[in-house]
Chains A and B, each alone.
Chain A
Amino acid sequence: MRTLPLLLALLIAAPAAAVIRVDINSGTAQPLPVAVPAFATASAVATEAGTTAALGQQVAGVIAADLASSGLFRPLDPAAFTTTVAPADVTAPQFAAWRTIAAQALITGNVTANPDGGITVGCYAYDVFSAEELARQGFVTTAANWRRAAHKCADLVYSRLTGETGYFDSRIVYVSETGPKTRRIKRLAVMDQDGAGHRFLTNGQTLVLTPRFAPNQQTLTYMSFANNRPRIWVYTIGSGRQEAVGDFPNMSFAPRFSPDGGTLVFSMSQNGTTDIYKLDIASRRLARLTNGPGINTAPSYSPDGSKIVFESDRSGGQQIYTMNADGSGQTRISFGEGRAGTPVWSPRGDLIAFTRLGGGKFRIGVIRPDGGGERLLTNAFQDEGPTWSPNGRVILFFRTAAGRGGKVDLHSVDLSGANERQIKTPLDASDPAWSPLLP
């Protein structure tokens, strides 16, 4: 009876494909578990910022905190580690120990003291399950700057595992507020994006608003009411020198630098209208970009410097407009219910963040430069003043709590609307601006 199985086989024979193919259309979107053990050191040498062994611990802590703050990684609790990393393990880790705690990536490295008093931080990233090295880089810096080496290592890991450029080695400048709402003391303050290294830049005697970084990182521009004259100032961070921009008789405010740092664009009030002007810093030549009606303010350059997005109430209420860098082609891009203001162009050029005003709330939203794809990312009482991280992935803004004497503080949210978190500051905070990636 050989014919029976043969007949059955002919009936049900599938095409003779050599390899079966499985389609997987869904996974679990969750932060990637990573292990960041303390960085090793060949011998504990004292530096001006502590011993290299202590620095190894702190560097690992800063990296883990950075990765966790992005919302895309989940650093595992060091208490669960089954092994420590010896200097020899840095270049040849024992992956089995990391597999047992289900870490998918391992970030390890070493801290070495240099003869000149500085340190070298070696940063290595490994894929635990395939046991391959993903990236390695060494950073040489002064011992006091060890945080920047840790941030750069975190940036390396972040970009290797997500494909995005990093944003951890950057700074935030903002207005620190204190005192009753009727007599607010406002000071400029600058800090690392994780809140460390905080310091005040002005003494609070004059009101300051809207500080922004120059692309070179070393200067800020902001608006100050010094001598009861609302003017734009430029502040050099290293020297602390402050210089007023232009000697305009009228109120000028909302300054921003162009991407090449050579032009300052701002608003100035004159004869009942407020218009946007640009100032060539080298030649001090002033050019007018808008010509009324109404209030035109909050200008922001596109990353390639060819266009400017701004806010205007010429239609009756604040809305968002784009124009070419020479002022031509002014087009409204925000529509729908309510008003829209404080636009900021993303460093990636693909989106504009803004504040949507309406329904009794201020909410942070993003919109494409052509006006489509508007998406609101937050939903609280009063969120405003967005600024972008250097990789165009995270938006920082300030939130005022409802009620009398409501606190004002800084919050950040991922572009997807997830991972909303507060950035802690010593006092109340408003008007944040995120610097580009530090070199």
Chain B
Amino acid sequence: MTERQSLGVVGLAHLVLFAVLSLALTSVTPPLPPEDPAPVDVVDIAEVPKIAEPPRPSKRAAPQKTVEATAPEPTPPTPKPEPAPTPDPTPVPKAEKPKPKVEPVEKPEPPKPEKQKPEKPKPEKAKPAPKLLDAEALSTLLDKSLPKAKVKPLDTSALAKSIEKSLPRTTRIDPRATATLIGAIRSQVAPCWNPPIGGADVKKMTVLLHLDINRDGSVVGRPGIVSQTGVTAGNADYARAFAETARRAVLRCAPLKLPAELYDQWKAVEINFDPSEMS
């Protein structure tokens, strides 16, 4: 082969390679499979469901009724065989059927909150029918729900009552209420405590007081000292002055304001005063 011929062969091979690569790139990406349109729930804004309230515990044996009520009802299963083609697959109208029976159920069912509330949006629907978004209705819904949502976690009185009635009296339970009690006592007594700005010894002392409290929050007699740390033979005077500041703090801020229904938990309290973290 001459040089010219070999050059021509090489150039042709380059062109072929170039062509193949260019075409190959276009054919490498596989075609996307055709997508089904995702079903979109169209919910009218006026029907925004309220924030779910945890159910109130009640003593009625309600669930049994639900079981009987839904058994003879074949209509709820009927929408199931036709899921996709149905133009209105919204769960809201579905729920309307079993709704009257589900009302008295107190079992916590967080996945289906709409079931409990579709009744309320229904009458309101009639009013804002011409408008899609009624800011007033929305704001009243929201305003009602927010304060309730705040109060709910602390209001354990109903739960506490029912549990207390069903359990022996000596059992101490409900650590959530205990934690808030501790915080309530601390927030009332701490501002009244003037620790002595005494010598270095005082910073290392602590004192544990025992209080008996009456129902109205007042302290019975004088708080007794359970124990005191950091006391040596040399700082007995400081120790006495320190213990007295703790007693004074409790007596100054009595009567304490604490929830009456939890009186059994706070009728006897121990308070530990520790100034080591104060500057």
Contacts and interface: CB of A to CB of B under 8 A. Distances in A.
Contact of B194 (A23, A25, A29, A164): A29
Given A27-B193, A72-B197, A19 B166 contact: no
B260 interface: no
19 contacts: A5-B57, A9-B166, A12-B175, A14-B174, A14-B178, A19-B268, A20-B265, A21-B271, A24-B271, A25-B275, A25-B276, A27-B194, A28-B194, A161-B244, A163-B196, A163-B199, A163-B202, A164-B198, A164-B237
B198 A16 contact: no
A6 interface: yes
A160 B236 CA distance: 11
A30 interface: yes
Contact of A1 (B61, B173, B197, B235): B61
B190 interface: yes
Interface string A173-215: 0000000000000000000000000000000000000000000
Contacts of B182: 20-22
Contact of B242 (A8, A102, A163): A163
B171 A9 contact: yes
A164 B270 contact: no
B115 interface: no
Contacts of B191: 27-28
Contacts of B269: 19-22
Interface string B255-267: 0000000000110
Interface stretch (B36-44, B78-86, B129-137, B246-254): B246-254
A159 interface: yes
B231 to A, nearest CB: 11
Given A19-B270, A24-B271, 4 more contacts: A8-B163, A24-B273, A163-B196, A163-B241
Nearest to B247: A130
Interface string A1-42: 110011011001111111111111111111010000000000
B271 A22 contact: yes
A129 interface: yes
B190 A5 contact: no
A159 B181 CA distance: 37
Contacts of B49: none
Interface in B170-197: 170-175, 178, 181-182, 185-186, 189-197
Contacts of A23: 186, 271-272, 274
Contacts of A416: 197
B178 A26 contact: no
Interface in B185-225: 185-186, 189-199, 202, 210, 222
A428 interface: no
A163 B239 contact: yes
A27 B244 CA distance: 14
A161 B242 CA distance: 9
Given A24-B193, A129-B252, A164 B199 contact: yes
Interface residues on B, range: 35 or more
A17 B198 contact: no
A162 interface: yes
Nearest to B195: A27
A130 B173 contact: no
A127 B191 CA distance: 19
A219 B273 CA distance: 47
B173 A129 contact: no
Given A16-B171, A27-B195, A27-B275, A21 B270 contact: yes
A163 B238 contact: yes
B278 interface: yes
B35 interface: no
A17 B242 contact: no
Contacts of B273: 24, 27
A104 interface: yes
Contacts of B163: 5, 8-9
B112 interface: no
Most buried by B among A22, A159, A416: A22
B267 to A, nearest CB: 9
B145 interface: no
B251 A6 contact: no
B59 interface: yes
B173 A12 contact: yes
Contact of B198 (A9, A18, A24, A163): A163
A102 B210 CA distance: 24
Nearest to B59: A1
A178 B278 CA distance: 46
Nearest to A414: B197
Contacts of B167: 5-6, 9
B229 to A, nearest CB: 13
Contacts of A12: 173-175
Contacts of A102: 252
B65 interface: no
Contacts of B235: 163
B75 interface: no
B278 A22 contact: no
A391 to B, nearest CB: 10
Contacts of A16: 170-172
* The 4 A-B residue pairs with the shortest CB-CB distance in the complex, in nearest-first order: A27-B193, A163-B238, A129-B251, A163-B237
